[in-house]
Structure 1
Amino acid sequence: MSAIRIEKVVTSGTFSLDGGTWDVDNNVWIVGDDSECVVIDAAHDARPILDAIGDRTLTQILCTHGHDDHLGAVTDVLAAHPDATVSIHPDDRMLWDAVMDQPPTGALTDGQQITVGGARLDVLHTPGHSPGACCFRIADEGVVFSGDTLFQGGPGATGRSFSDFGTIVESIRSSLLSLPPETVVHTGHGDDTTIGDEAPHLAEWIARGH
């Protein structure tokens, strides 16, 4: 069996919501082995994502949430891999439907297990940044893909529609900070962090919201 590969591709584009548009760089994560993989958040530009997939079989695109900067390359990646599926949590369908012409082909649920290339990804529903936000944990590799739920320095943004600060802090507390402290957090934007680096700041985040 091939070893698990975790690769990061950074793509650039814009994020638009509530009438505003901002320039952003997104982390796209490709997880699998030498024969098959999944893509976590097909953002902005399909070309570097397809280059990273190479000649492997793409089984799924997994969406951490439905903001448009995380969905921009979905259509083009699927066009190149028509047998792959794309999944998002149903609570983010209103965000998906605002920018996508076709419905997703799969629905993510809390506790769901997704296997690819010998790796098992556990789905963690972590609402707050958006109602359907999800993280993906690979326990055997000691990593979690946090999307925009947890960053180096604290929770993701909650100042826009469909987001809530109290909800995201509770999601992080209950679903992420309970993971082993050495767990590496692969984020949706910016640098990695660890659960151990972020956990001591929970009280500060709570105070920030009051």
Structure 2
Amino acid sequence: MSGYTGRVTPGGPADVRDLPELSITKVAVDEQMSNNCYLLRCTATGTQALVDAADDGPLLLSLAGTAGITTVVTTHQHWDHHRALADVVSATGAEVVAGLPDAEAITEQTGVPVAHPVRHGDRIRVGEVDLEVIALAGHTPGSIALLYVDPTGHPHLFTGDSLFPGGVGNTFGDADAFAQLLDEVDSKVFDRLPDETWFYPGHGDDSTLGAERPQLPEWRARGW
């Protein structure tokens, strides 16, 4: 775990963080969009889930290996986060999880049914590991984050495109959507979770809530 940085580039090696009960493999795909994909493996059972089958199905399947993938969580409906969804599901039989308000759009765009549309507070099991769904509307209506609380360490949060180092996700000039997203990130993430919470976004480097917390007033003032 000590060697993990979370800095990955398309075409480069994956970065792996080994926790006692969960292994996190981060890889970047597509040189233009540089999406992050996260393979989560329960260390007790070997069960694996994928967060965002963004692109490059062969790479994602090779990372999964013979253990396969039982669940693909799609953090939101934007096209760049599910380009490999059909290939991964076809190869593995994985069930798709997504936020309920985005589920229909994901199926329309990919042809893949969302087996488990989830709401805020729902739970996703990866073997013996429990992930909590945090709904963060604003970037899209059904954007979700996934919270893993390590019983021996700090929390880990997979934020999709709702939270990045330096700001919340793009709301495309919609002031109401920005206010909604920042309010939800503030109340559901920063107000609840400690500074040492490490978060893993849909693009770029990771960060901690403690590093970003002092910037919240600046984000609100600038409006993006």
Give the TM-score, by structure 2 length: 0.83
- SS of alignment partner, residue 58 of structure 1: coil
* Structure 2 counterpart of 1:176: 189
- Map Cα deviations across residues 139-161 of structure 1 (whole Å, 9 max, x no partner): 11521000000001111111078
Q: Percent identity?
A: 33
1:133 corresponds to which letter in structure 2?
Answer: S
Q: Which structure has more strand as a fraction of its residues?
A: 1
1:6 corresponds to which letter in structure 2?
Answer: I
Alignment of 1:60-209 (within 5 A): 60-82=71-93, 84-93=94-103, 95-140=105-150, 142-159=155-172, 164-178=177-191, 179-209=193-223
The structural deviation recorded for 1:97 is 4.3
Q: Give the distance between the partners of 2:84 and 2:158, measured in 1 at CA.
A: 19
* Structure 2 counterpart of 1:17: none
1:102 corresponds to which letter in structure 2?
Answer: V
The structural deviation recorded for 1:113 is 1.2
Q: Give the distance between the partners of 2:100 and 2:126, measured in 1 at CA.
A: 22
The structural deviation recorded for 1:103 is 2.6
Q: Give the distance between the partners of 1:145 and 1:26, measured in 2 at CA.
A: 13
1:88 corresponds to which letter in structure 2?
Answer: A
* Structure 1 counterpart of 2:48: 37
Q: 1:50 aligns with which of 53, 61, 72?
A: 61
The structural deviation recorded for 1:98 is 4.5
Gaps of 5+ in 2: 1-19
Equivalent residues of 2:85, 2:110 under 8 A apart:
no
Equivalent residues of 1:4, 1:118 under 8 A apart:
no
Equivalent residues of 1:4, 1:117 under 8 A apart:
no
2:125 corresponds to which letter in structure 1?
Answer: T
The structural deviation recorded for 1:108 is 1.4
1:24 corresponds to which letter in structure 2?
Answer: M
Q: Give the distance between the partners of 1:157 and 1:138, measured in 2 at CA.
A: 24
Equivalent residues of 1:88, 1:107 under 8 A apart:
yes
Equivalent residues of 2:106, 2:112 under 8 A apart:
no
* Structure 2 counterpart of 1:19: none
* Structure 2 counterpart of 1:16: none
Equivalent residues of 1:9, 1:52 under 8 A apart:
no
- SS of alignment partner, residue 54 of structure 1: helix
- Map Cα deviations across residues 19-42 of structure 1 (whole Å, 9 max, x no partner): xxxx30100001113521100000
Q: Give the distance between the partners of 1:143 and 1:102, measured in 2 at CA.
A: 28
* Structure 1 counterpart of 2:7: none
Q: Give the distance between the partners of 1:118 and 1:93, measured in 2 at CA.
A: 26
Aligned length: 198
2:109 corresponds to which letter in structure 1?
Answer: V
1:68 corresponds to which letter in structure 2?
Answer: W
Q: Give the distance between the partners of 1:128 and 1:66, measured in 2 at CA.
A: 12
| Stretches (4+) displaced over 3 A | none
Q: Does 1:10 align with 2:28?
A: yes
Change (3 A) 1:57 1:50: closer
